[in-house]
């Protein structure tokens, strides 16, 4: 057995429970340095594997990495592997990379349809394997979506930075009283509507608002809207196409949290998650505590959703905090 096969066998062995789940066909099969090969992340989306190739960190030759990905596809019955290249210098070769990430011809295997449904704990989500870097479903939020679904009954839920509305689907399946999904991307929100429809969920109690989140806060406060749950999953950086105004996590996070507290009812719950390496749960707690002090509201931190087993071993895993606001 060669080194490549040993790495793959060890990684898949750690995911035996995930791979045997009848109601889930998504997961991270290989998690970079946590599984012994820095620079390669391999995720399963039903019949497709997505290979995230981080230039400057991979030390193995391309043919070795390709064989590992092909072996993983064979082991889990995937029909194709699409590659997403993350260049060391993000300012170059953008056009070439965009063409690569939108090419329907996979790196390995046969071309698949542009959009199809996958399963996560019985919920259906539509993914697009060659629609750019993102595929429509962030797998690191799998356990968080379970937590939201379990707590959503009869709750009013705001999903800010909703993207394709994965948390909205979870809340709706958990019998939320109503949801509001806010994102600056109309395309993402239309995708979210299709996600709800894929689960047989009517849209009558679910609103989709294409807006900057801070702008939405101001309108919602004027209109007297209140929520029992607010989910904040902001990007590190984003720019609104119409206004050109930029959102920066480092600059805007305190205002983002404070605005959420203004909309949370007494006893409401805030789930705050960020995808920025170097940001710690301790920093998120400090931001929430500072915002709560400015609003003169008590806060109690709850155990956050557990790290999915396929993401464990990465010390820079996306941090999250869960807090109840009095």
> Each residue of 195-231: pLDDT tens digit?
999 999 999 999 999 999 999 999 999 999 999 999 9
Distance, CA of 51 to CA of 160 (rounded, Å): 28
Residue 13: per-residue pLDDT: 95
Cα distances (Å, whole numbers) of residue 74 to 49, 51, 67, 249, 293: 11, 14, 10, 40, 54
How would residue 58 be classed by pLDDT, with cut points 50, 70 and 90? confident
Element (H, E) at 137: none
Residue 313: per-residue pLDDT: 76
For residue 77, which of 47, 109, 113 has the smallest C-alpha distance?
Answer: 47
Distance, CA of 106 to CA of 127 (rounded, Å): 15
Residue 315: per-residue pLDDT: 61
For residue 79, which of 113, 47, 118 has the smallest C-alpha distance?
Answer: 47
Residue 55: per-residue pLDDT: 86
Mean pLDDT check: name the lowest of 68-72, 120-124, 282-286, 287-291. Answer: 282-286
If one compares 236 and 76, the residue with the highest pLDDT of the two is 76
Residues ≥6 apart with Cβ < 8 Å to 217? 259, 260, 262, 263
Mean pLDDT check: name the lowest of 66-70, 168-172, 249-253. Answer: 249-253
Distance, CA of 131 to CA of 151 (rounded, Å): 32
Taking 60 as the threshold, does the pLDDT of residue 254 lie above it? yes
Residue 235: per-residue pLDDT: 78
Taking 70 as the threshold, does the pLDDT of residue 68 lie above it? yes
Distance, CA of 324 to CA of 326 (rounded, Å): 7
Over pLDDT 70: what percentage of the chain?
A: 91
Residues ≥6 apart with Cβ < 8 Å to 243? 212
Residue 238: per-residue pLDDT: 56
* Mean pLDDT across 138-147: 95
Distance, CA of 276 to CA of 90 (rounded, Å): 16
If one compares 203 and 317, the residue with the highest pLDDT of the two is 203
* Mean pLDDT across 256-270: 97
Distance, CA of 268 to CA of 277 (rounded, Å): 28
Structure tokens at 213: 């989140």
Residue 244: per-residue pLDDT: 56
Q: DSSP state, 262?
A: H
Residue 15: per-residue pLDDT: 96
Largest CA distance in the chain: 65
């Amino acid at each position: 057995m060669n080194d490549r096969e040993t790495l793959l066998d060890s990684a898949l062995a750690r995911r035996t429970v995930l791979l045997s789940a009848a109601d889930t066909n998504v997961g991270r099969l290989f998690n970079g340095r946590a599984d012994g090969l820095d620079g390669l992340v391999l995720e399963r989306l039903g019949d497709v594997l997505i290979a995230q190739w981080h230039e400057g960190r991979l030390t193995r030759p391309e043919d070795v990495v390709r064989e590992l990905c092909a072996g993983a596809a064979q082991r889990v019955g995937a029909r194709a592997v699409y590659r997403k290249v993350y260049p060391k210098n993000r300012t170059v070769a953008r056009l070439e990379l965009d063409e690569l990430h939108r090419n329907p011809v996979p790196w390995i295997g046969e071309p698949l349809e542009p959009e199809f449904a996958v399963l996560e704990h019985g919920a259906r989500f539509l993914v697009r394997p060659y629609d750019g870097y993102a595929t429509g479903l962030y797998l690191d939020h799998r356990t968080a979506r379970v937590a939201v679904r379990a707590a959503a009954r009869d709750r009013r839920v705001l999903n800010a930075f909703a993207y394709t509305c994965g948390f909205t689907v979870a809340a709706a399946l958990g019998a939320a009283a109503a949801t509001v999904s806010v994102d600056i991307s109309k395309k993402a929100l239309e995708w979210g509507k299709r996600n709800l429809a894929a689960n047989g969920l009517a849209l009558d109690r679910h609103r989709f608002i294409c807006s900057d989140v801070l702008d939405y806060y101001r309108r919602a406060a004027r209109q007297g809207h209140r929520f029992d749950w607010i989910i904040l999953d902001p990007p590190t950086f984003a720019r609104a196409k119409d206004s050109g105004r930029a959102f920066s996590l480092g600059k805007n996070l305190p205002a983002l949290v404070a605005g959420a507290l203004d909309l949370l009812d007494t006893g409401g719950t805030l789930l705050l998650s960020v995808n920025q390496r170097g940001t710690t749960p301790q920093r998120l707690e400090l931001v929430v505590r500072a915002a709560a002090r400015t609003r003169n509201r008590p806060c109690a931190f709850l155990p956050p959703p557990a790290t999915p087993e396929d993401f464990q071993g990465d010390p820079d895993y996306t941090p999250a905090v869960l807090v109840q606001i009095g």
